[in-house]
């Protein structure tokens, strides 16, 4: 059995850095929105040569001034790591988990760019 796990702290930091690089974070403390992210589930296989991991994260975007929810959705990210990525199974699983979380954050970025923001 393989074991690996993406920690919440690592995910939150990766999410923060990505949002900052993409220009979604406000430098001032009076940001008009609040984003909450919760890892719901990370599904991974027990063994295999190609390891596919699915991540499910619930994102809630809230308008700060009136607490209106702009969106509240569970997004999925999937990534497959193969023996070309890593020979050792635990390392391959770690790469697949990290890739699934990156894919999930990418899905959020698409969601942020395509969701109309209204009052």
- Which residues contact residue 47 at a Cβ distance below 8 angstroms, ignoring those fewer than 6 apart? 1, 2, 89
- Which CATH number covers residue 83? 3.30.160.150
Average pLDDT over residues 70-94: 93
Average pLDDT over residues 30-52: 88
State the residue range of the domain holding 110: 8-114
With a pLDDT cut of 70, the percent of the chain lying above it is 88
Q: Which two tokens stand for residue 63?
A: 């308008």
Question: Is 75 in a helix, a strand, or coil?
Answer: strand
Residue 23 in any domain: the answer is yes
Residue 2 in any domain: the answer is no
pTM of the model: 0.86
Residue 1 in any domain: the answer is no
Residue 3 in any domain: the answer is no
């Amino acid at each position: 059995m393989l074991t690996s796990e993406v920690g919440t702290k690592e995910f939150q930091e990766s999410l923060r850095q990505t949002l900052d690089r993409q220009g979604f974070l406000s430098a001032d403390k009076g940001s008009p929105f609040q984003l909450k992210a919760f890892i719901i589930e990370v599904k991974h296989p027990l063994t295999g040569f190609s390891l596919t991991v699915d991540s499910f994260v619930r994102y809630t975007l809230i308008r700060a001034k009136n607490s209106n929810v702009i969106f509240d959705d569970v997004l999925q990210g999937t990534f497959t790591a193969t023996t070309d990525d890593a020979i050792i199974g635990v390392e391959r699983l770690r790469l697949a988990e990290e890739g699934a979380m990156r894919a999930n954050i990418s899905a959020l970025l698409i969601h942020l760019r395509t969701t109309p923001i209204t009052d």
